[in-house]
Amino acid sequence: MKRIILGCIGAWMLNACAPVKQNGTMEDMFLIVGSYATPQEEGIKVYAWNNEKGEATYVSGLTGISNPSYQVVSADGERIYSVGEDDGLTSTAHALSFDKAKGELTLMNAQLTQGGAPCYIIIAPDGKSVVTANYMGANISFIPLEASGRLTENVKTIAFTGEGEIKNRQDQPHLHCVEFTPDGKHLLANDLGTDKIHIFPLNSDGKLDEKAGFDVNLEPASGPRHICFSKDGRFAYLINEISGKVTTLSYDGKCLIPIQYIEADTVNAQGSADIHLSPDGKFLYASNRLKANGIAIFSVNQKTGLLAKVGYQLTGIHPRNFVITPDGRYLLVACRDSNWVQIFERDEKTGLLIDTGKRIETSKPVCLKFI
């Protein structure tokens, strides 16, 4: 059994909230769109993004992956890793190369994750492995990388046990997100099924210390999903899928302490999904699905970190994922069941969103990444 700590997480700071431009300028960005698709369909598409006009132009697409529902981009923008979110033993992770001159993806290779329905993937701080969160597998997977970026066969998994209060949603562990802390000292695994965050220290050589791992219990029936941190690392914001609440937590370098609970979902839809801060850190956005599909908008008190709700923007159907342009001008929403990416302009003073009326028509989009 792992040691359980209530409301306290040591050395935890993510920078996944705010989008970061990795290469080039705003004029030469690409938008990567992952989706639910068959291997015969273009499950991952590449678009050229025109930030001046707030428009995207199709460049290329990649076939050969079943349900490429989440991607992560390497720091140099030359590699992309994707999950293949099937439910059973056929679930996979994929290594792709990206030609920035042509805007084209090439499938390098794939490996079984040994855990069903991988829905999140990250690259280790040292760039030598990837980690997946396997929603139906009740585990997380570690896949070492070759120097070329290809996935190796030496897959290792860590399994979890337990359940939560909501029997039709929390009958087993459901790993929904994995993240490394920016200091490279801990790996975090958010477990929607048991209302826990599993935390594992990393040794000085970068190896995971599984025996030293511990759990953090969250509010029952929360369903923790994605999390992000303020730029200065003093505050964290967690979106809970089932309760529909955003939890604000203070961080002092040793512990995370909940200081506020505020509703993103006010209609008990139990389908909250994604969360991001604006690049300037002044506004927080959280998406909700199943009912009243949309984005909850909060202002952020820069001193206390506390949130105040300032608006709610309706979107297309099932906004599973969204992304903000690095300059904060636009917010793009992947509306899975509307079969489009919806483009909003963002008011930097109020945080409110304005529907531009522009759409990227594409089948079942569920992941958006800028390169």
Domain limits for position 97: 3-362
| pLDDT value of position 255 | 62
On whether residue 356 sits in a domain, the answer given is: yes
User: Position 173: which residue type?
Assistant: P
Does the residue 322 lie in any domain?
A: yes
Residue 8 resides in a domain: yes
Distance CA 72, CA 92 (A): 14
Q: Is the pTM of this model over 0.75?
A: yes
369 in a structural domain: no
Averaged pLDDT in 10-residue chunks for the chain of 371 residues: 38 40 62 98 98 97 98 97 93 97 97 97 95 97 97 97 96 94 81 93 89 89 92 88 92 75 97 97 98 98 97 98 98 98 98 98 98 95
Residue 218 backbone phi and psi in degrees, to 5: -110, 175
pLDDT value for 179: 83
Give a yes or no: residue 367 inside a domain.
no
Residues contacting residue 107 through CB under 8 Å, at least 6 positions apart: 62, 64, 65, 94, 95, 96
Q: Is the dihedral of CA 139, 112, 318, 51 positive or negative?
A: positive
Residue from 112, 148, 154, 106 nearest 132 by CA:
112
Q: How many CA atoms lie within 13 A of 116 on its CB side?
A: 9
DSSP string across 170-224: -SS--EEEEEE-TTSSEEEEEETTTTEEEEEEB-TTS-B-GGG-EEEE--TT--E
* Domain total of the chain: 1
Strands of 92-99's sheet, edge to edge? 71-73, 79-84, 92-99, 104-112
Q: Which residue has the tokens 């952020």?
A: 300
DSSP string, 252-294: -SS-EEEEEEEES-SS----EEEEEE-TTSSEEEEEE-SSS-E
345 lies in some domain: yes
pLDDT of residue 358: 98
Is residue 161 assigned to a domain? Answer: yes
CA-nearest of 342, 321, 343, 335 to 363 is 335
| Res 2: pLDDT | 41
What is the three-class DSSP state of 303?
coil
Q: What CATH number has the domain bearing residue 135?
A: 2.130.10.10
Task: Supply the pLDDT for residue 253.
Answer: 62
Asked, for residue 338, whether it belongs to a domain, the answer is yes
Q: What is the pLDDT of residue 56?
A: 98
